[in-house]
């Protein structure tokens, strides 16, 4: 994969010994100070790097220069020693790159409750900083845990006559649920943009993407989304209310939705991507509640895995979503993107082609459309089926 990565960013990924042989340590470095904003897990139990980054970004959102990430160990529920190890990671990167400590962010992902092998990580950092390149692939590999594929999304666009680039790199396969769906997502751009605009863009993008996906109903201790913007594209500063803002927002949203969908497609043990679209709702809040509820239902997930057109599970999940709607107006369709079958209308099930429904559910992409017939708002959520393999993967996660 050849990418014109955002100007000024360098990447590296190596094995430092947390894992037996796969890459487990990644660093991203910017040649220039970055504006930065982050969003983090809503889990009350937060990993040490999450606590560290939240504080750092609150105090210092305009001078970030690097991110260091380890996989294979979450550094969560590790107490005072865990926080000291987070600080040691940041200090070592800063020392080797000639930076201030407060300019380095830290992320971890992996098994909860184990102390980091910090000496191995520090030794790995010493090696890694000499291997930084323009190629983001090794970094994408280094942040993976149970992922089966790297997750990268990229856009280039022209803003006021200047070429601007955006790159997104993520990991996520399990512990994914709509509250920052264990997931990490890092976004890099060379755009010159105001901090207020960057903050709003990220918060809105997360709401449309990572907060609308589900694999297994679990919200991790480490969920993190961070965006860095170093301004090296030398475009006119992007501010809200301009054409450049809208063009950048469109590309930025596309990247985050694409990364979010890659996560559920790569869900642990998954065989099918499920898209739930709620249309003609009274308002977006109603549509979002229903879409998220259905895509998070284990009964819906298992029915789709079994290729069983059990529409009752879908209607029930809509009903307990907390949204208010008139089931007497609701229509439900199943589709694979080519064929479409109506299975429920105006408060009750209807006769439908069972064989066609089974064929639709045998597809690797299943689309559920819920028409509330009550307004003009809509929302989309994404998930995956739940299989025996998910149990196998997570039944032996530590071993």
Please list the active-site residues. Answer: 182
Q: How far apart are CA 87 and CA 81, in angstroms?
A: 10
Left, alpha or beta for 103 (phi > 0: left; psi -120 to 50: alpha)?
Answer: alpha
Helix, strand, coil % (nearest 5) of the chain? 35, 30, 35
Cβ proximity of 170 and 185 under 8 Å: yes
Distance of CA 314 to the CA centre of its chain: 25
Cβ proximity of 87 and 61 under 8 Å: no
Q: How far apart are CA 362 and CA 321, in angstroms?
A: 27
Strands 25-40 vs 9-14: parallel, antiparallel or unpaired: antiparallel
Query: How many other CB atoms are found less than 10 A from the CB of residue 277?
Result: 18
Cβ proximity of 140 and 152 under 8 Å: yes
Cα separations in angstroms, 73 against 113, 142, 316: 8, 12, 38
Collapsed DSSP state (helix, strand, coil) of residue 209: coil
User: H or E segment at 225?
Assistant: strand 224-229
């Amino acid at each position: 994969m050849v990418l014109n990565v955002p100007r000024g960013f360098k990447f590296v990924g190596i094995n430092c010994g947390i894992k037996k042989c796969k890459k487990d340590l990644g660093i991203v470095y910017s040649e220039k100070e970055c504006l930065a904003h982050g969003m983090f897990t809503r889990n009350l139990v937060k990993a040490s790097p999450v606590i560290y980054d939240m504080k750092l970004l609150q105090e210092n959102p305009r001078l970030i220069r690097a991110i260091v990430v380890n996989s294979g160990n979450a550094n969560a529920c590790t107490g005072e020693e865990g926080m000291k190890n987070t600080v040691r990671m940041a200090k070592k990167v800063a020392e080797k790159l000639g930076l201030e400590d407060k300019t380095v962010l830290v992320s971890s992902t992996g098994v909860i409750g184990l102390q980091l092998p910090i000496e191995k990580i520090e030794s790995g950092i010493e090696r890694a900083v000499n291997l930084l390149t323009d190629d983001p692939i090794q970094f994408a590999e280094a942040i993976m845990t149970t992922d089966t594929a790297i997750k990268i999304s990229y856009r280039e666009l022209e803003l006021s006559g200047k070429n601007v680039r955006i790159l997104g790199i993520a990991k996520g396969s399990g512990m994914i649920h709509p509250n920052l769906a264990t997931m990490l997502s890092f976004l890099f751009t060379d755009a010159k943009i105001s901090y207020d605009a960057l903050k709003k863009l990220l918060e809105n993008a997360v709401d449309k993407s990572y907060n609308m996906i589900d694999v297994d109903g679990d919200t991790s201790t480490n969920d993190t989304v961070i965006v860095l913007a170093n301004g090296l594209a030398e475009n006119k500063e992007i501010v809200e209310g301009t054409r450049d803002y809208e063009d950048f927002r469109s590309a930025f949203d596309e990247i985050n939705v694409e990364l979010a969908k890659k996560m559920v497609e790569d869900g642990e043990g998954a065989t099918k991507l499920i898209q739930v679209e709620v249309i003609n709702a009274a308002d977006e809040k109603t549509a979002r509640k229903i879409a998220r509820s259905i895509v998070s239902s284990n009964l819906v997930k298992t029915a789709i895995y079994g290729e069983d057109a059990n529409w009752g599970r879908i209607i029930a999940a809509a009903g307990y979503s907390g949204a208010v709607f008139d089931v007497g107006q609701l229509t439900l369709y199943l589709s694979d993107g080519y064929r479409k079958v109506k299975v429920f209308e105006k408060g009750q099930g209807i006769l439908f082609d069972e064989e066609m429904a089974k064929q639709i559910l045998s597809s690797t992409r299943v689309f559920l459309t819920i028409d509330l017939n009550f307004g003009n708002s809509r929302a989309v959520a994404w998930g995956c089926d739940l299989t025996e393999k998910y149990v196998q993967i997570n039944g032996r996660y530590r071993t």
